[in-house]
Amino acid sequence: MMKFMLKCFVLSSILLLGVLFGMQQANQGLVKMKGYEDPNLSSAFEVKNDSSGELEASVLGVSHNLEEKQEKLEEMEAFNFFSQLGKKFAALANAVITGFITFLAGLVESLFQ
């Protein structure tokens, strides 16, 4: 099972890199076709140095700073009804399935004794 998961992960990674490479090639083709640099046409993957000297990577023109996003989500403290409903449904399903498996295990045990 571990070999299968590793193969799937490696294959997915290779496919993702292939997609990013293809997008970069398409971007370069568009620039060549236009004949001039368009500042609105960004590349698929960029790595820049920010003002503090740290590297900042952006994929498809979107820069991701996970720490800022986490802080923003913690500040919002929004109540999501469907999220809470889903959690309760998952807990209920877990309890029902656990009870059913326990019942089946007891039934099988009683049959073999």
Count of all residues that appear for the chain in the document: 113
Q: What is the pLDDT of residues 47-103, one digit of tens each?
A: 667 677 666 666 665 556 666 777 777 777 666 778 888 999 999 999 999 999 999
Rg of the chain over Cα atoms, rounded to whole angstroms, equals 25
Q: Residue type at 79?
A: F
Q: Residue 44 and residue 19: Cα distance in Å, rounded?
A: 10
Nearest Cα neighbor of 42 from 56, 53, 31, 33 is: 31
How far is Cα 83 from Cα 73, in angstroms, rounded to an integer? 15
Q: Where are the domains of the chain?
A: 79-113
Task: Choose between 91 and 42: higher pLDDT.
Answer: 91
Q: Which of 47, 40, 51 is nearest to 64 (CA)?
A: 47
